[in-house]
Amino acid sequence: MTPAGAGGGDRGPTLAVVGATGAVGTVLLSILSERKDIWGEIRLIASPRSAGRKLTVRGEEVEVVALGEAAFDGVDVALFDVPDEVSAQWAPVAAARGAVVVDNSGAFRMDPDVPLVVPEVNPHAVRNRPRSIIANPNCTTLSMIVAMGALHAEFGLGELIVSSYQAVSGSGKEGVDTLREQLGKLAGTELGTQPGDIRRAVGDLGPYPAPIALNVVPFAGSLKEDGWTSEELKVRDESRKILGLPELRVTATCVRVPVVTTHSLTVHARFENEVTVAQAHEILRAAPGVVLCDDPAAGDFPTPADVVGTDPTWVGRVRRSMDDPCALELFVCGDNLRKGAALNTAQIAELVAAESAA
């Protein structure tokens, strides 16, 4: 890794944030401001539309520069938080100019030459990166995989059947704006009792195929083979790759709900060995990056409203299946913009920086 670039002196490696103005980019800047400051220059990059805008990171104003080859001069690690097609085109450019790329889009996740990394689960995978690109999992998988990785290490995972309750910020700023606009139109009305009354009142559906206010929408991403959505297949493929279990049985049904930020999932997890709730509690309590919140008699279980803005994966409602001593039911919440996106990329970048510092 080269010494830090222009603005960094000898303080540390140069970090670029590509997509600094987006939903994930915004959260990333606040995470970079909170975490141990190991970086020299932090360069902010977005589309030409945003060039010249000033954003705050580590308490300093930094001017956004337009994406282009020169933007990567002297960059050691580049975090990409941009649409798939922008990553597909520009991540190899950044890598060719000497940066290690951590990409948060879907463009490289299933590339066999690109590791898919969750620092609590498979940190060593970062070292094997022939393309100088490391991929960050999608937010739905990330919202449960730290907890499932910890349980897998102990009991051996055989099957996951999950249903998601996905927040609108998973669709970027457009999703949040759409929910807030629709709620504004529905507040104070008596709608939600006649077929189609909500659909007529909200008008614009934004990025969703149905109203999202006062509704749930069983469709996220795009349609793929045999009726599965891209989001459902990502949960399957990415869980297998992260856990290193290419034959793992994984079934997901992904549903969007009117929550701003924090994805939730119900998980039916079948293990190779018998499990008890007490054992699962012990493992989850000790697992880095996991908070066990499971005392329903005292009202303790995670909900998005309580979890949003926090870093860990929260786990509650742990029960052993009444039909199968090898299976657990769980309810899991994780902030899709933090651990589900920005935080995990920051953690990967820190792993890369530590590796070259060592």
Q: Which is nearer to ligand NAP, 4 or 167 (CB)?
A: 167
Helix pair 343-357, 23-34: axis angle to 10 deg = 50
Q: How far is the CB of 326 from ligand NAP (least distance, A)?
A: 32
Site for a copy of itself in 180-219 (CB under 8 A): 183-184, 186-188, 191-199, 209-211, 214-219
Nearer to a copy of itself among residue 71 and residue 283 (C-beta): 283
Closest CB to a copy of itself among 101 and 202?
A: 202
* Residues making up the chain, counted from first to last: 358
Q: What residues numbered 137-176 form the site for ligand NAP, per CB under 6 A? A: 138-139, 169-170, 172-173
- Residue from 152, 263, 293, 333 carrying the catalytic annotation: 263
Catalytic-residue membership of 254? no
User: DSSP code of 84?
Assistant: H
Instruction: Work out whether strand 313-320 and strand 77-80 pair parallel, antiparallel, or are unpaired.
Output: unpaired
Sign of the Cα torsion 94, 97, 101, 107 reads positive
Residue with tokens 């001017």: 63
What residue number has its CB nearest to ligand NAP?
22
Residue placing its CB nearer to a copy of itself in the complex, 195 or 288: 195
Q: 329: closest CA among 299, 306, 296? A: 296
Task: Using CB under 8 A, pick the residue from 234, 241, 320, 339 that binds a copy of itself.
Answer: 320
Task: Give yes or no for residue 23 binding ligand NAP (CB under 6 A).
Answer: yes
Binding mask 280-299 for a copy of itself (x = CB under 8 A): --------------x-xx-x
Pair 40, 9: CB distance under 8 Å: yes
d(CA 142, CA 347) in angstroms, rounded, equals 13
Q: Exactly one of 37, 84, 274, 282 binds ligand NAP (CB under 6 A); which one? A: 84
- Dihedral sign, CA of 86, 88, 94, 96? negative
- Establish whether 200 is an annotated binding residue: no
Q: How far apart are CA 281 and CA 285, in angstroms?
A: 6
Is 187 exposed, middle or buried, given 0-12, 13-18 or 19+ CB atoms closer than 10 A?
Answer: exposed
What are 169's two structure tokens? 């910020």
Annotated binding site, which residues?
A: 21-24, 49-50, 109, 166, 169-170, 256, 336
The binding site for ligand NAP (CB under 6 A) comprises 19-25, 46-47, 49-50, 67, 81-84, 86, 104-105, 138-139, 169-170, 172-173, 336-337, 340-341
Query: Among all residues, which ones are annotated catalytic?
Result: 139, 263
